[in-house]
Structure 1
Amino acid sequence: MKLNLISLLLALFLLGALICGEEELNTEQETNIEQEKVIDHGTIDQEYSPHFHFFESFSDGLGKERWIKSSDAKFQGEWKFEESQEPCGIADDIGLVLQNEAKHHGISTKFENKFEASKEGLFFQYEVRFQEHVTCSGAYVKLLPDFEPINLNGDLHYVVMFGPDKCGETNKVHLIFKRFNPKTEEWEERALVKDSPSPIFDTISHVYSFLVNTDGTFKVFVDLKVVTEGTIDEEFFDGWQPETVDDPEDEKPEDWVDEAMIEDPEVTKPEDWVDEEFIPNEEAEEPEDWDEDEDGEWERPMIKNPDFTGKWNHPMIGNPEYKGEWSPKQMPNPDYYLDESPGVLNDIYGIGFELWIMSPKILFDNVILGKAEAKEQAFEYAEKTWGKKFKFQEIERKRKEKERVEMLKGGFVQRVRTFILNLIDSLIYTFKKYPIPSIATSVIILLSTIWLFSKLLRKSPQAQTNTQANPQIAEKEKIGNKSKSKNESEEFIFLKTWSDVSMPEDTSESEKEEEEEEEEAEEVEDVGIDYDDDDSRDDQEDED
């Protein structure tokens, strides 16, 4: 009965919470359902992919064949092709996801044909979503020269490195070019250092893009908006070989004077100048109980010097023999070569991710590489895909923030109500995404609940029926209850006797004898009924 009452109250409480939140739930659900309308990825991909040299949306299910994990033992991190952990606004939207924290991840793909960025510039774009809080992780991409994906490693040269990175003092969107120096026969990098944009490290999707023209101009975009632009020159980039270098054979002359200031030789410290700020207290006397063996040698305590006039600093004057700062002579840099077209990049053969992360579940999606003129088509594609996801995730983010604020203000009841609404949202999403497993699980839970309640409800009537059908069981239960009452009474008398040990007894001798006779009669009656086997009954009949 108590369980039934509790269940009824719980059901009424849940119903009330749902009724109170019905209006808000319907409003939010309508927004969510509107955002979750399925888009035809295949149709959109077919429409825009001809404009790009390389395009990867992972929606065709062939990503596992195109993208190859490095065989280098350094890369222990796993990759999976899966949907985001939370709804992204587009059903069945697959991405490339890093799985493990504190591990190196390496995976890449090679184009069927190399991309010649030197002819018509370069445009590159991709999406990234940090599904968990970022502490120290990179999400940048490397555009690679000729290579084999199976041999990807950290020492492999790249043409361009681009994307967000956060670790230690680094918190920027990298844009680094590497060019081959024909004189040194080495790859040299030049990194964007001025106006380097800051990445966005929330838990919703963002799109990063950059454009390089053959005339050396460039632009960096975050969420389809320009955040940095300029020309590839020394003002914006740093790292390539300078035109001149220090002459290693040039040494500083011994008589070279590089001290610009010296002390004024005509000025001396005044004789009455007192620069001792503290002096011993002459009035202090050694304590009578001072023991040098235990306390050490006694010293007078220090006091502020009443004649203290401050610290004296020698005036400085310009050094008449000063020749200036010395620096070695410059000579032509034997490793320098004039890069007359810094915007003309080397050929690109593939794309790779070579990352060490502390924040797992980083998701990459919709990777695009093409000519500079492909920017417009890439932006249109992003507006139809990423734009839809971004709006949905932004709505969800604001809704959760609003619920969190209301929950903190509303107390316990509001927290329970918010929990129920979130639970319903999760159940609806789960039913949509996995209908068959969800229905099967619901049926199992429902049948288990019905079975449990029916078992609880049948327990009390069944016991009553058994008692009525079997008089011996009823008699035995009656005697058991009687013995239990007797034992409880004796226990109470025993406890009372100990608590009232100083009180005189009120029971007379005759009353005690009557109680003892009743107890003996009850014991004889109990003995006659408690036999459980035939041999015991026969022995008792013989004795009678």
Structure 2
Amino acid sequence: MTDLVADTRGSPDTSGSPLLRLVYFAETFGSGWEDRWSSSEWKKSDGTQGTWKLSAGKWFGDEAEDQGIQTAEDSRFFGLSAGFESFSNAGKELIIQYQAKYEKDIECGGGYVKIGPKLSDPKTFGDPTPYNIMFGPDKCGYTKRTHLIFSYKGKNVLKKSDLAYKQEGEGTSHVYRLVLKPDNTARVEIDGEKIYEGSLKEDWELLAPKERVNEIKDPEDKKPSDWVDDSMMDDPEDRRERLDKKPENWVEEKRIVDSKAKKPDDWDDEEDGEWEAPMIDNPDYKGEWTVKRISNPAYKGIWEAKKIANPDFVDDDSLYKYDDFGFIGFDLWQVKGNTIFDNIIITDEVSEADKFLQKWKTLSEAPGF
């Protein structure tokens, strides 16, 4: 059943009927955005706290329509968050989507969002603040990826393998969408294109492994003396034939004494020692006379220590579920600023997210883009 909720976008419902909770939060940074967002003061005391401003940047279609919030300086920490009525994603899909544009190469820093439980004091929002999900582009030098981190039992867990980093090209907007599903799978799309879809259980180390190598010293759990782990063997029939057929003039010596070398005229045996001719590569070397190799019929494979059930493993079919979502925020360090964020939406209805995706498509198809 869909929950009912008041409009979280700052536009009260005047129809007389409650709004279906399809959109938990949406922001296009129109009029009054400063009242909906709170700047962090986490780094204010050490002088590294950056500021935010409203801007469409150097490249835009419609300046008023394409305005978003922009990181205003270089080499600063940037913190900004917005709260909304708390909700749980239990039993339904959750879509988190936003738009990011790097006005210049960030060099080292992030463009990701954090989504988590209700903040008690938005001014303290920063790196130590607990969150449920962290999602979006991150780069430092040659390391580039799209972050997707899930918090589980107090631990923030990064995906085992990196997701593609698409934030290339100065002044180009990109749309990042995460779909978190009740079957414990996640889907990531950038600019409407799927770049990942898979299992939280398999692709994140959220749970302990089901099995582990037996750590008990079991005298029986050792490699048997007759275990054959050579997949290939010499052909016994060919061995005899090859030894019989080896040519008498077959040369297997790689290096020989250089017969053309001469003792230098100024060589003094007493001072320089006994002179020896140098070694050179043998021009007649033909390689080792080898026996034909065949598959070993006794091959048993690579021996592995016995695995046992992991007593620490506890399955959890609600990995995807969080009891409280109450804020979305940007907690970033950027060497090069001027990143613009816009068109943020948190919803359980794909058609609502698609409306914001269409805004990006309209912008990307504008002349000059």
Q: What TM-score do you get using the length of structure 2 for normalisation?
A: 0.73
* Equivalent residues of 1:124, 1:368 under 8 A apart: yes
Q: How do 1:305-344 and structure 2 match up within 5 A?
A: 305=282, 308-312=285-289, 324-344=301-321
Alignment partner for residue 352 of structure 2, among 351, 363, 377?
Answer: 377
Whether 1:60 aligns to 2:31 is yes
Q: Relative to structure 1, is the Cα distance of residues 260 and 131 closer, same or farther in structure 2, using a 3 angstrom cutoff?
A: same
Matched with 1:123 is: 95
Q: Following the alignment from structure 2 to structure 1, what is the Cα–Cα distance between the partners of residues 214 and 176?
A: 43
Whether 1:166 aligns to 2:135 is no
Q: Which has the higher helix share?
A: 1
Q: How do 1:170-249 and structure 2 match up within 5 A?
A: 170-180=143-153, 186-187=154-155, 189=157, 191=159, 193=161, 196-202=163-169, 203-216=171-184, 218-223=186-191, 225-228=192-195, 230=197, 232=199, 234=201, 237-241=203-207, 242-249=209-216
Q: Relative to structure 1, is the Cα distance of residues 86 and 177 closer, same or farther in structure 2, using a 3 angstrom cutoff?
A: same
- CA displacement, residues 497-539 of structure 1 (integer Å, 9 cap, x when unaligned): xxxxxxxxxxxxxxxxxxxxxxxxxxxxxxxxxxxxxxxxxxx
- CA displacement, residues 399-432 of structure 1 (integer Å, 9 cap, x when unaligned): xxxxxxxxxxxxxxxxxxxxxxxxxxxxxxxxxx
Aligned residue identity for 1:260: D
Q: Relative to structure 1, is the Cα distance of residues 321 and 349 closer, same or farther in structure 2, using a 3 angstrom cutoff?
A: same
Q: Following the alignment from structure 2 to structure 1, what is the Cα–Cα distance between the partners of residues 213 and 47?
A: 41
Matched with 1:141 is: 113
Whether 1:352 aligns to 2:329 is yes
**Any gaps of 5 or more consecutive residues in structure 2?**
1-8, 14-18
**Secondary structure, counterpart of 2:364 in structure 1:** helix
Alignment partner for residue 253 of structure 1, among 222, 225, 229?
Answer: 222
Alignment partner for residue 81 of structure 2, among 88, 109, 119?
Answer: 109
Aligned residue identity for 1:187: K
**Secondary structure, counterpart of 1:117 in structure 2:** coil
Matched with 1:471 is: none
Cα drift, residue 130 of structure 1: 0.5
Aligned residue identity for 1:325: I
- CA displacement, residues 162-183 of structure 1 (integer Å, 9 cap, x when unaligned): 2223345644433333333xxx
Cα drift, residue 322 of structure 1: 6.9
Q: Relative to structure 1, is the Cα distance of residues 110 and 249 closer, same or farther in structure 2, using a 3 angstrom cutoff?
A: farther
* Equivalent residues of 1:141, 1:353 under 8 A apart: yes
**Secondary structure, counterpart of 2:365 in structure 1:** helix
Cα drift, residue 132 of structure 1: 0.6
Q: Following the alignment from structure 2 to structure 1, what is the Cα–Cα distance between the partners of residues 118 and 226?
A: 55
Q: Relative to structure 1, is the Cα distance of residues 298 and 234 closer, same or farther in structure 2, using a 3 angstrom cutoff?
A: same
**Secondary structure, counterpart of 1:118 in structure 2:** coil
Cα drift, residue 136 of structure 1: 3.8
Cα drift, residue 204 of structure 1: 2.0
Q: Relative to structure 1, is the Cα distance of residues 377 and 308 closer, same or farther in structure 2, using a 3 angstrom cutoff?
A: closer
* Equivalent residues of 1:260, 1:319 under 8 A apart: no
Cα drift, residue 84 of structure 1: 3.5
Whether 1:154 aligns to 2:127 is yes
- CA displacement, residues 97-117 of structure 1 (integer Å, 9 cap, x when unaligned): 2244455x2414252421211
Cα drift, residue 368 of structure 1: 1.6
- CA displacement, residues 204-237 of structure 1 (integer Å, 9 cap, x when unaligned): 22222222333445443333x24146453556x3
Q: Relative to structure 1, is the Cα distance of residues 135 and 71 closer, same or farther in structure 2, using a 3 angstrom cutoff?
A: closer
Matched with 1:277 is: 254
Q: Following the alignment from structure 2 to structure 1, what is the Cα–Cα distance between the partners of residues 295 and 59?
A: 71
Aligned residue identity for 1:238: W
Matched with 1:483 is: none
Q: Relative to structure 1, is the Cα distance of residues 287 and 145 closer, same or farther in structure 2, using a 3 angstrom cutoff?
A: same
* Equivalent residues of 2:200, 2:206 under 8 A apart: no
**Any gaps of 5 or more consecutive residues in structure 1?**
1-43, 181-185, 398-544
Cα drift, residue 296 of structure 1: 6.9
Aligned residues: 339
- Larger RCO: Structure 1 or Structure 2 (Cα < 8 Å, ≥ 6 residues apart)? 2
Matched with 2:6 is: none
Cα drift, residue 346 of structure 1: 4.0
Q: Relative to structure 1, is the Cα distance of residues 257 and 100 closer, same or farther in structure 2, using a 3 angstrom cutoff?
A: farther
- CA displacement, residues 316-365 of structure 1 (integer Å, 9 cap, x when unaligned): 78889876534333333333222224443442121222333333211112
* Equivalent residues of 1:257, 1:321 under 8 A apart: no
Q: Following the alignment from structure 2 to structure 1, what is the Cα–Cα distance between the partners of residues 291 and 206?
A: 47
Q: Relative to structure 1, is the Cα distance of residues 114 and 326 closer, same or farther in structure 2, using a 3 angstrom cutoff?
A: same
* Equivalent residues of 1:79, 1:96 under 8 A apart: no
**Secondary structure, counterpart of 1:282 in structure 2:** coil
Q: Relative to structure 1, is the Cα distance of residues 351 and 301 closer, same or farther in structure 2, using a 3 angstrom cutoff?
A: same
Matched with 1:82 is: 54
**Secondary structure, counterpart of 1:89 in structure 2:** coil
Aligned residue identity for 1:336: F
Matched with 1:69 is: 40
* Equivalent residues of 2:184, 2:201 under 8 A apart: no
Whether 1:132 aligns to 2:109 is no
Aligned residue identity for 2:61: G
* Equivalent residues of 2:114, 2:132 under 8 A apart: yes
